[in-house]
Amino acid sequence: MKYYIVAGERSGDLHGGNLIKAIKQHDPQAAFKGFGGDDMQAAGLDLSVHYKDMAFMGFIELLANLNTISNYIKQCKTEITQWKPDVVILIDYAGFNRKIGKFCKANGIKVFYYISPKVWAWRQGRAWSLKKSIDRMFVILPFEKAFFKRKVDWEVDYVGNPVLDAVKDFKPSPDFKNRYTWPANKELIALLPGSRAQELKYIIPVMAEVVRMNPAYHFAVATVSNLDRSSYKPFEGFSNVSFVEEATYDLLTYAKAAIVTSGTATLETALFHVPQVVVYKTSALNYFIAKRVIQVPFISLVNLIADREVVKEMIQELCTPVGVSAELNLLASESERRRSVVEGNKEVYRILDIGSASANAGRLMVKYLTEKV
């Protein structure tokens, strides 16, 4: 069968690559085409557009790039029409993929959604439009299944969480400690500022000041190859800073604690049982808008899954070097606060541990297509 897949972000590419591998287990003759990244291409995707060309973040940046986004949507629709896939699989990337889902439904093309848009977080009424335009929804957070049933009476498939799959499958690089050394007498603190330039613009200055205030620690910044090294310029000149490129899981294997920008990385950090403080900062306008539309009590996946505050969230005006440093010092010491966060991390791990999300989703997708459901 032919599978057209659309992923527009770094995490979607990772999970899309694993999904392709899982589908091949049940459909050896499967062909794949679409939008994604290196992981999906390596797994067998005929790549049309790389996610790095589509990674726009924030209301202002999205508005500034509406024409570019519109052209990608047109290209995607044209390719689907011409290639005639058996199914279109959408992975996260809500604004773009909801439009593609509606197009597919209007044109009689079967469409599956893997990793639901976060409609439970804001504008919950969008759940109705998803139900109308999507044939099958595969969710990765346990509370999402209950949300869709309660909100729109829609039975969706909870398949487990692909982030836990990735953590379980990870094998530390044997030469990591040789390539990235730090003083034996200093605790290693991981800095995960994010993978989008817009995130780094506001978060890195805060993190750099935390570094300056804490010379007793050694900090390792998780950098990504799709961002220029100049994005990390505020860290230059510090003797207690290392840069770790494309090796975040290795870094988390050794980190005593972490400062993490809100996003998927908060969950990854928790699943490695590393205590963290979650930070987030954006423009005043973006924050003004977001504050009025968000409908959940937390922004980190760790707290949302646990349904309580496991990790401290320091957002916007609370995201100060002094406040972040204070929490970091508790997490990096053998304190009750550290023990509490570690236990919370273990709780989140147990909640998500229901088997491989990619394997479950791949098996169900082929099953539904074969049965013509």
| Residue 303, domain CATH | 3.40.50.2000
Tell me the mean pLDDT in the region 101-106. 96
Asked whether residue 170 is assigned to any structural domain, the reply reads no
Contact between residue 8 and residue 54 where contact means Cβ atoms under 8 Å apart: yes
Give the pLDDT confidence of 224-248 residue by residue, as tens digits: 887 888 889 999 989 999 999 989 9
Instruction: Note whether 30 and 136 are same-domain residues.
Output: yes
Residue 343 belongs to a domain:
yes
CA distances from 256 to 211, 217, 222, 333 (A): 15, 10, 15, 9
Residue 267 and residue 302 in contact, taking contact as beta carbons nearer than 8 Å:
yes
The whole-chain average pLDDT of the chain stands at: 91
Lowest mean pLDDT among 8-17, 223-232, 322-331: 223-232
Same domain (yes/no): 258, 140: no
Q: What is the model's pTM?
A: 0.80
DSSP 353: -
In whole angstroms, give the CA distance from residue 192 to residue 201: 13
pLDDT of residue 373: 47
186 and 109 within one domain: no
Place of tokens 């860290």: 235
Tell me what the mean pLDDT of segment 75-100 comes to.
95
Mean pLDDT, range 291-319, rounded to an integer: 88
Q: Which domain holds residue 333?
A: 176-352
Estimate to the nearest angstrom the gap between the alpha carbon of 301 and the chain centroid: 10
- Helices 162-169 and 264-271 pack at an angle, to 10 degrees, of 50
In a domain, 168, yes or no: no
Q: Are 159 and 364 in contact (CB under 8 A)?
A: yes
> Does a structural domain hold residue 167?
no
- Structure token pair of residue 300: 């980190």
**130 shares a domain with 217:** no
Looking at the domain assignment, is residue 347 inside a domain? yes
Contacts 24+ apart (CB under 8 A), 228-232: 231/197, 231/200, 231/204, 232/193, 232/200, 232/204
Query: Are 145 and 192 in the same domain?
Result: no
198 with 325, same domain: the answer is: yes
198 pLDDT above the threshold of 90: no
The total domain count for the chain is 2
- The model's pLDDT over 107-164, given as tens digits with 9 standing for 90+, comes to 999 999 999 988 887 778 889 999 999 999 999 999 999 999 999 999 999 999 989 9
pLDDT over 70 at 295, yes or no: no
Residue pLDDT, tens place only, 173-191: 988 988 888 888 999 999 9
Q: pLDDT category, 69, cuts 50, 70, 90? A: confident
Residues 122 and 27 in one domain: yes
202 with 126, same domain: the answer is no
Same domain, 183 and 269: yes
Q: Say which residue, 254 or 373, is predicted with more confidence.
A: 254
Q: Are 130 and 43 in contact (CB under 8 A)?
A: no
Same domain, 216 and 152: no
Instruction: State the amino acid at position 70 in one-letter form.
Output: S
Q: Which is it for the CA torsion 83, 89, 93, 98, positive or negative?
A: positive
